[in-house]
A = this chain, B = another copy of it.
């Protein structure tokens, strides 16, 4: 990171100015947690703030492809959540734009010629009831989620706040910038449902370098793992089997038993042979079949997912899953509908970009490098990374420790160390400016 000392000093001064706002924003998003495709209040307030700061803002259908959305809630739920967002102080203008489940926002800062640097920030909460234990800081300090069954238990509230703080910081550094910075606020990362629709809408077209930040509550605050990309490719499906009901006591031969089809599918899905080339996973997480006790079950619903060490391994599992489901349906003369509910790829961060970020981390006091632990999760940042790399651009994830010595991601007691928020803004601001000045970034995408 050969950034001039004065530039660094200016960045630090900007970051200091946003420090209190970062915490306030994070806690506001946390308090009004909104789950995937229903981040109406969150997205509208982000868009309002970016617009007020002077960024070019695109929102709603301009940045979210309607058909590309996966795992969308039903229309009633969407409308109820939208009405709630209006009640809870969403921005009325932008609420119109995101209505119906188009909750992506892109803010662009144009500074003349030069490369396009993309920063992806995910903003959705989880379907989870937040802890009300007095030892849980959000409860203690009054910013626990007021929305029942929705909680920011993965740090995306922090990501959203960092995005806003970064926008303000870069505005303050405008004279040191060139090219374009594009801040991409993505909905519905949980369930890996949202990135595909934003990519389909073109939000990463022309991006020379893409960065995706994630906070990790299990790492010491300030430790950074650039290029953490050991994500498993994954596909999420719902399967619906439809047979025919019949009275179990008197006419079972007239039924088409969807529960038996589902039971057969579940057993044989777990028996799909493992692939010798790497990790493969299958899970059927939910099964609901049948109606009354004395009725041949006419319907069955399965929620399942596959994973693979690479996208190819995941494809192998997906193909086998389809074959098993089709055959199980045919065995009981049932109809089958398979609905894609989410997907993410495997991805490899570009080594040159990773090394550049690592150099920055080494140069910045307060940060240190760590290795990313081998992981078993999935992340749809990879869908954006793939598209950027296909165009010739570079992409890297960045993990940042934000330890609160506490509970794991996706638990009711999750929290993180807010001291990481200004660290994240500083690291991203420095990295953006550093990357803008390098010829191998500029023009990476022809």
Contacts and interface: CB of A to CB of B under 8 A. Distances in A.
Interface of A: 191, 232, 234, 236, 247-253, 255, 257, 259-260, 262-264, 266-268, 270-271, 273-277, 281, 283-297, 300, 303-305, 307, 316, 323-324, 326-328, 330-331, 333, 341, 375-378
Nearest to A341: B293
Given A248-B305, A252-B281, A266 B260 contact: yes
B290 A274 contact: no
Per CB-CB distance, the 7 closest pairs between chain A and chain B, nearest first, are A250-B376, A248-B283, A327-B331, A270-B271, A285-B293, A263-B263, A252-B273
Contact of A281 (B249, B271, B277): B249
Contacts of A289: 286-288
10 contacts: A191-B293, A232-B249, A248-B305, A283-B294, A286-B292, A287-B289, A293-B341, A294-B305, A323-B331, A324-B331
Contacts of A236: 293
A253 B276 CA distance: 7
Contacts of A277: 253
Contacts of A327: 327-328, 330-331
B377 A249 contact: yes
A418 to B, nearest CB: 27
B293 A274 contact: no
Contact of A267 (B271, B274, B375): B271
Contact of A260 (B270, B276, B323): B270
B290 A287 contact: yes
Most chain B Cβ neighbours within 10 Å, of A234, A236, A270, A277: A270
B294 A285 contact: yes
Contact of A283 (B252, B253, B305, B333): B252
B264 A268 contact: yes
Given A286-B289, A291-B285, A326 B316 contact: no
A78 to B, nearest CB: 20
A361 B268 CA distance: 49
A277 B374 CA distance: 11
Contacts of A266: 259-260, 263
Given A286-B292, A290-B285, A326-B330, A271 B260 contact: yes
Nearest to A327: B331
Contacts of A260: 266-268, 270-271
Contact of A276 (B251, B295, B303, B326): B251
Nearest to A289: B287
A277 B279 CA distance: 11
Given A281-B248, A286-B292, A327-B331, A376 B276 contact: yes
